[in-house]
Structure 1
Amino acid sequence: MKTKHIFTLATLLTASAAASFGTYFSKRVLHIKKKNEQEIIERDTKLNHIIPVQFATLPKKEVWIPSPNGYKINAMVIRPHQTKRFIIFSHGVTESKMSSMKYANLFLERGFNVIIYDQRRHGKTNGNTTSYGFFEKYDLQAVVDWLFDQEGENLLLGIHGESMGAATTLLYAGELNGRANFYIVDCPFSDFHELLLYQLKCEGKYLPARTLLSIGSLFLRVRGKFSIKHVSPITVVDRIKQPVLFIHSEKDDYILPYMTKDLFEQKKGAKMLLLAKNGGHAQSLNENRREYEEAIDSFLSTYLDV
Structure 2
Amino acid sequence: MDLKTVDTLPKQKLHELILQIIFSPILAVIGLVVAWGLTHPKRNKVKGNPAKHGMTFQDIVFKSADHKTNLKGWLMEAANPVGTIIFSHGYRGSRTKSPINSLKLAKHYVEKGYNVLSFDYRNCGESEGNKSTVGALESKDLIGAIQYIKRNMTYKKIILMGWSTGGACAIMAAAKENVDAIIADSAFDNLETYLDDCLSEWTNLPKLVNPFILFFFPILSLGYHPRMVNPSKSLDKINCPVYFIHNQNDEKVPHTCSVRMHQAYQGVKKLWITSKGGHVKNHLSNQDYLINIDDFLDEAVKGS
Question: Normalised by the size of structure 1, how large is the TM-score?
Answer: 0.83
Secondary structure of the corresponding residue to residue 97 of structure 1: coil
Matched, 1:17 2:26: yes
- CA distance change for structure 1 residues 201 and 223 in 2, over 3 Å: closer, same or farther? closer
Secondary structure of the corresponding residue to residue 95 of structure 1: coil
CA distance in structure 1 between the partners assigned to 2:78 and 2:226 by the alignment? 40
Give the match for residue 55 of structure 2: 58
CA distance in structure 1 between the partners assigned to 2:116 and 2:204 by the alignment? 44
Give the match for residue 298 of structure 1: 295
Give the match for residue 93 of structure 1: 91
Shift of 1:218: 2.1
Mapped contact 1:243–1:270 kept (Cα < 8 A): yes
Shift of 1:284: 0.6
CA distance in structure 2 between the partners assigned to 1:37 and 1:256 by the alignment? 28
Give the match for residue 139 of structure 1: 141
Give the match for residue 271 of structure 1: 269
After TM superposition, which residue ranges in structure 1, 4 or more long, deviate above 4 angstroms? 11-15, 50-53, 201-206
Across the aligned residues of Structure 1 and Structure 2, the Cα RMSD in angstroms comes to 2.5
Give the match for residue 167 of structure 2: 166
Mapped contact 1:274–1:295 kept (Cα < 8 A): no
- Deviations along 1:136-187, whole A, 9 cap, x unmatched? 01111111111111114x311111001111111111112x2x2211111110
* Counterpart amino acid of residue 143 in structure 2: Q
Mapped contact 2:82–2:302 kept (Cα < 8 A): no
Shift of 1:275: 1.2
- Deviations along 1:205-239, whole A, 9 cap, x unmatched? 993x2x63332222111110201011111121232
* Counterpart amino acid of residue 180 in structure 1: V
Mapped contact 1:132–1:167 kept (Cα < 8 A): no
Question: Normalised by the size of structure 2, how large is the TM-score?
Answer: 0.83
Secondary structure of the corresponding residue to residue 162 of structure 2: strand
Matches within 5 A, 1:1-306: 16-38=25-47, 41=48, 53=52, 55=53, 57-67=54-64, 68=66, 70-99=68-97, 100-152=102-154, 154-174=155-175, 176=176, 178-202=177-201, 207=206, 209=207, 212-225=209-222, 226-289=224-287, 291-306=288-303
Shift of 1:302: 2.5
CA distance in structure 1 between the partners assigned to 2:184 and 2:255 by the alignment? 12
- Which has the bigger relative contact order, CA under 8 A and spacing at least 6? 2
Mark the runs of 5 or more structure 1 residues left unpaired by the alignment.
1-10, 42-49
